């Protein structure tokens, strides 16, 4: 074992974090379905190709605009909290801004989305 303490490189930190968030195929499904529920979805379709470790989750939630799409899978990025004070009044399933970034670290992530159009 190394005898001196050193800070880990960022990519190693991300890999360790990703392994904590995504520890199984089921945890991928859970994280994506939680995102769908947080987006207000009333219809969620989960498709699995377990032999290829492939999962698709489609929902009819609020969707994302282009700016949010580009930000969604970056580290520590969330629309659900803004400050430490918000941690005391969480009303969503997710809030860490970790799940999608973890998926990009461990897998090929593809997101297709558009903002939900609600007619008045
Ligand atoms: N299915 C979705 N519909 C609409 N927006 C989504 C969807 N999935 C993710 N997002 C957006 O992408 C952001 C990042 O998602 P991610 O799962 O990485 O973080 P989170 O849900 O905020 O927190 P956690 O890491 O605890 O799950 C979310 O905060 C949300 O704004
Ligand atoms: Mg999430």
Q: How does pLDDT run across 48-104, given as a tens digit for each residue?
A: 998 999 999 999 999 999 999 999 999 999 999 999 999 999 999 999 999 999 999
Q: Please tell me the predicted confidence (pLDDT) of residue 59.
A: 98
What's the pLDDT at 6? 96
Is residue 81 within 8 Å of 90, Cβ to Cβ? yes
Q: Please, what's the b/e burial string for 94-120 (b: 16 or more CB within 10 A of its CB; e: otherwise)?
A: beebbbbbbbbbeeeeeeebeeeeeee
Find the mean pLDDT for residues 7-28.
95
**Ligand 1 center to residue 113 CA distance, Å?**
12
- The residue nearest atom 7 of ligand 1, judged by CA position, is 35
Q: Which domains does the chain have, with CATH numbers?
A: 10-106 (3.30.565.10)
What is the predicted pLDDT for the residue at 68? 97
- Which residues, other chains included, contact 43 with Cβ-Cβ below 8 Å and sequence gap of 6+? 59, 60
Average pLDDT (26-52) is 96
């Amino acid at each position: 074992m190394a005898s001196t303490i050193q800070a880990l490189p960022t990519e190693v930190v991300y890999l360790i974090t990703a392994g904590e968030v995504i520890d199984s195929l089921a945890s991928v499904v859970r994280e994506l379905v939680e995102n769908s529920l947080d987006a207000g979805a009333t219809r969620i379709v989960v498709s699995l190709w377990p032999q290829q470790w492939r999962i698709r989750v489609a929902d009819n939630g609020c969707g994302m605009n282009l700016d949010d799409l580009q930000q969604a899978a970056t580290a520590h990025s969330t629309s659900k909290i803004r400050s430490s004070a918000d941690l005391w009044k969480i009303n969503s399933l997710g809030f860490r801004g970790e799940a999608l970034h973890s998926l990009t670290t461990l897998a090929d992530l593809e997101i297709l989305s558009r903002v939900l159009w609600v007619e008045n």
